[in-house]
Amino acid sequence: MDRVFALIDCENFYASCERVFDPALRDRPVAILSNNDGCVIARSEEVKQAGVPMGAPVFKWQEELGEMGAEILSSNYTLYGDMSRRVHSILEEEALALERYSIDEAFLTLPALKSERLQEWADRVRRKVRRHVGVPVRVGIGSTKTLAKVADENAKARKRAGWGQGTYVCPDEPKREKLLRRVPVGDIWGIGSAYEETLREKGVATAAGFRALPDPWIRSEMTVVGLRTAWELRGKSCLDLELVRPDRKTLVRSRSFGQRVETKADLREALAKHAQRAAEKLREESLVAKGIKVFISTKRFGDPPYYSNGVAASLGAHTARAAPFLRASRRLLEPIYRDGYGYKKAGVCLYDIHPSRPHQESLFGRRRPEDEDLMDAVDRINQTYGKETVGLAAAGLPGERSWTMKRQKRSPRYTTRWDELPIAFT
């Protein structure tokens, strides 16, 4: 084996980003709210230990959060995205290759050094990210990505127990066997609840028991992906990131409005924004789509009576460009819009999604390479200068949308907006 993998996992990422720029939060519990400030979507360690669950409606937990002195903040995705980019840029300097797994996780490919050297590397990278960005990270290292995930979870457990700083190198056999005996089968990366139930019915409760199963049975019951996971637990690297992520069937972009929307013009603008963001997401994941559904709804209770409707259509060809989805959303809104209602939510759902490899072209359409070049240029500009630096005119200007969601407790976007930089008085 000439390489190993390190999983870098930012700890309590959203809360940690807020603490970087507000030192007063470093010794306080922090809870981050969802869009329109409805539910808790991120928690500092103190909030987790207090038993506040992920997705908790904030109004039901207001008393408990108040008693522990928690700071409750609106989500600040612009800040979190930029901080993620900064962490990843540092990690790229430290590895042979980097794969972004999520906003707060990345896999790094490293040379296969001795365990002592890998432990030194992990400790150094943890300190470097903390020093340069301010965000605490954990580091789990293994000969495969699945074992690196196991190492990361073990590093988390050891740190909570006061045994380390959040770094761990997965050991060789036979110590690895002892480690895997402590890992519940449902905690294995890529093992979903359905497979967990199948394995438990067979009497398999741990990762060690799973990897010991016969290959023919694993392939028959859990497909080739399950078999590759077992091989990874045995130390054979064979699992790409896309194999552990379920194939995307649909892509939904929607938001509840901060206030009731009563005009067709505002609905068009909101749908244009969602279509634009959905197309960006397709390109980020190297996907294309052909189908689109538009949906709108009012508040379920209260006056006027509840109304909800949606309609779908197919485009001429698979694409990841924003303009075709925009045109379709405007066209599809017409038959479902009803005047006199105050709408609470609107969105788009893309379907018939495939990887962006060549597809059968439309008989009456023509693929234009310059369109793809334009989208690439737009993406590069937005990545460099901030989200929505360039976008569809039909989606409106970010600061002038009357329908945007409520974020009454959002912190400043310190790293991307000059007008939101903190001011120091002398």
In a domain, 122, yes or no: no
List the structure tokens of 209. Answer: 């028991």
Q: What dihedral do alpha carbons 398, 400, 405, 407 form, nearest 10°?
A: 80
- Share in percent of the chain as helix, strand, coil (round to 5): 45, 20, 35
Tell me, what's the pLDDT at 398? 64
In Å, how far are 87, 212, 236, 241 from 98, measured between CA atoms?
A: 12, 31, 19, 12
Cβ atoms of 139 and 152 within 8 Å: the answer is yes
The count of domains in the chain is 3
Q: How many Cα atoms sit within 13 Å of 256 on the Cβ side?
A: 13
Pair 63, 194 in one domain: no
Q: What is the CATH number of the domain that holds 198?
A: 1.10.150.20
**Does 29 map to a domain?**
yes
Cα–Cα distance for residue pair 407/404, rounded to 1 Å: 9
Q: Please enumerate in sequence order all residues whose Cβ is within 8 A of that of 134, keeping only pairs 6 or more positions apart, or say none.
A: 16, 19, 20
Whether residue 59 lies inside any domain: the answer is: yes
Partners of 350 in beta bridges? 251, 292
Name the residue range of residue 222's domain: 180-244
Give the number of other CB atoms < 10 A from CB of residue 353.
20
Instruction: Give the pLDDT confidence score for residue 361 in this predicted structure.
Output: 53
**Which stretches of the chain score pLDDT less than 50?**
243
383 domain residue, yes or no: yes
Rounded (10°) CA dihedral 107, 109, 115, 119: -50
Q: Establish if 411 belongs to a structural domain.
A: no
Show the CA angle centred on residue 179, arms to residues 142 and 92, nearest 5°: 20
- Edge-to-edge strand ranges of the sheet holding 308-319: 251-261, 343-355, 287-298, 308-319
pLDDT (0 to 100) of residue 394 = 73
Whether the link from the prior residue into 412 is cis, omega within 30° of 0, is: no
Q: Which pairing describes strands 287-298 and 308-319: parallel, antiparallel, or unpaired?
A: antiparallel
CA dihedral 338, 342, 343, 344 (to 10 degrees): -160
> Does a structural domain hold residue 345?
yes
So what's the pLDDT on residue 184? 94
Same-domain check for residues 330 and 220? no
User: Is 270 a member of any domain?
Assistant: yes
CATH number of the domain encompassing residue 18: 3.40.1170.60
Is residue 365 in some structural domain? yes
Please tell me the distance from the alpha carbon of residue 209 to that of residue 385, in angstroms, as a whole number.
Answer: 50
User: What integer pLDDT is reported at residue 296 of this predicted model?
Assistant: 92
My answer on whether 260 and 395 are in the same domain is yes
Same domain, 281 and 343: yes
| pLDDT computed for residue 381 by the predictor | 77
- Beta-bridge mates of residue 71: 30
- For position 301, what pLDDT does the model report? 66
